[in-house]
Amino acid sequence: MEIDLTEEKQKTTNIILSSSSLSKLIQTETELLGRNGLINSLLKQLKTVDSEKRKTMGMKINSFKQEIITLILKQKKILSQTKNNEKTDITLPGESILTGTLHPITIAIAEISLIFSKLGFIRMSYPEVEWEYLAFDALNMPKTHPARDDFETTFVNGNQHEKYGKMILTPHTSSGQIREMWRLKKPPIRMINIGKCYRPNWDATHTPMFHQFEGLYVDTDVNITHLKGALDFFSKEYFGEATQTRLRPHHFQFTEPSFEVDISCTMCKGTGFVETSRDPVQKCKICKSGWLELGGTGIVHPNVLKSGNIDPNTYSGWAFGFGIERVIMMKYGVDDIRNYYSGDMRFLSQF
C-alpha cells in the first residue's frame, strides 16, 4: 500500500490560506501538527506501507510537515501585519479587567491579628477536629451541659480516645486555651487564637461554619480592669475611636465572673436613633437600643487553669471569644451573615 500526499497537500494548503484570523490559524495548526493531527495520522499509516518503500514514504511525510510549518509561519506573519495595520479608535473606552479582592473575613483576620499584636499577643491556630474532653470537660462543662448535645455539636465518626473521648468538629475556639497552656506550661500567656468553628445552625445570623477569635491572658495579679482595658483598646482600634464598651454580668462555665461584652452602635453612635430625610429621630434598625452585643468574656475559671496545668492560687487570667463574621456585621451594618458565603462579587468587593 502507498500513501498519496497530492490530495492532502492541496487540501492543507487551502485550509491554511483560508484562515482569516490568528486564532483560526492556531486551531488549524493544532489540527495538522498536533498529537492527534494529520501528520501523526500519516506517520501511523506507515506500518501499512511495503517495507522497501517505507523509508522513502517517511521522508516524504516529513518534507510535507516542513512545508506545512513554513506555510503556517508565512500566513501568521501576513495576519499579524493585517491586524497591526487596522486603525484603532483611541476615543473608545478601554476594556475593563476584573480584578480579585480579599474576602472580608480574610481582611478582618489580618486587622484583628495586628491589633492584638500591639498588646503583645501571639497569633495561634489549633485543630478544627477536636477531642470532646478539650472542647468541654477541660473547660468545666459537665456531661449534662446542653452544648454537648448532637443538636448543638457535630460529632465525627472515628475511634474514641481512651482519655479524651469522642472526636468533634470544634464548636468554639476555647479549646485552644487548654492547648496553649499545655504548650507554654508556665505564664505569662498572651494568645489570640483564630479559627473555624462548626455548629448545626443556619439563618440570617448563624452558619454551620463560622470563624471565632479567642483571647487568653494569664499572669500573676490579673483582674477585670486589665480585661476592660484590652477590650476598650480593641474596640477603638477596630470600630473607631468613639466606640465605647460595657460589661454585663452573665454565666459561662469556663469563666467566673462572666460577662457579655457590648459596644456602642457604630451606626447611631450609641444613641439608639438615626436621622433620615423623612424622620430625624427614627429608631436605629441595627441596635434598637444604642448597644450591640459583641461576645462573651470573663475571668478564667480556676478549674480551667487546673486543666491547663496552671496553679490557680498563683495565677489568674481572662479570656474572651468573639465571632469574626459578627464583628464585621457590626462594623459595616451587614444584616445577613450568609452574604459572606454567597460568592456574590457585588457584596464581597465592597470591603
Q: Which comes out higher in pLDDT, residue 282 or 14?
A: 14
pLDDT at residue 84 greater than cutoff 70: no
Rounded to whole angstroms, the Cα distance separating 138 from 159 reads 20
Half-sphere exposure of 83 (CA within 13 A, CB side): 10
pLDDT the model gives residue 98: 76
- Answer whether 0.75 is exceeded by the pTM: no
pLDDT in tens, 213-242: 999 999 999 999 999 999 999 999 999 998
pLDDT at residue 203 greater than cutoff 80: no
Report the chain's mean pLDDT, rounded to a whole number.
Answer: 87
Backbone angles phi, psi at 217, to 5 degrees: -135, 120
Q: Are 305 and 269 in contact (CB under 8 A)?
A: no
Half-sphere exposure of 58 (CA within 13 A, CB side): 11
- Best CA proximity match to 179, nearest among 31, 269, 310, 302: 310
Largest interatomic CA distance in the chain? 101
- Best CA proximity match to 161, nearest among 204, 190, 132: 132
262 grid coordinates: 457590648
pLDDT the model gives residue 65: 87
pLDDT at residue 336 greater than cutoff 90: no
Q: Helical H runs in 149-244?
A: 175-184, 224-239
Radius of gyration of the chain (CA): 34
- Locate cell 482595658: which residue? 229
pLDDT level of residue 34 (50, 70, 90 thresholds): confident
The DSSP bridge pattern shows strands 189-198 and 122-124 to be parallel
- Best CA proximity match to 199, nearest among 191, 210, 189, 188: 210
% residues pLDDT > 90 (the chain)? 44
60 grid coordinates: 516524504
Give the CA distances from residue 13 to residues 6, 28, 32, 68, 339, in Å, rounded to whole numbers and listed in that order: 11, 11, 11, 8, 56
pLDDT at residue 189 greater than cutoff 60: yes
Half-sphere exposure of 192 (CA within 13 A, CB side): 23
- Best CA proximity match to 327, nearest among 212, 214, 243, 224: 212
Backbone angles phi, psi at 47, to 5 degrees: -70, -15
pLDDT the model gives residue 267: 74
pLDDT level of residue 280 (50, 70, 90 thresholds): low
Rounded to whole angstroms, the Cα distance separating 307 from 294 reads 27
pLDDT the model gives residue 177: 95
CB atoms inside a 10 Å sphere around CB 125: 12
- Locate cell 480556676: which residue? 302
pLDDT the model gives residue 278: 67
pLDDT in tens, 102-133: 899 999 999 999 999 999 999 998 989 999 99
DSSP string, 307-328: HTT--TTT-EEEEEEEEHHHHH
What DSSP state is assigned to residue 284? P
pLDDT the model gives residue 204: 66
Q: Are 8 and 63 in contact (CB under 8 A)?
A: no
pLDDT the model gives residue 315: 96
- Best CA proximity match to 320, nearest among 240, 229, 236: 229
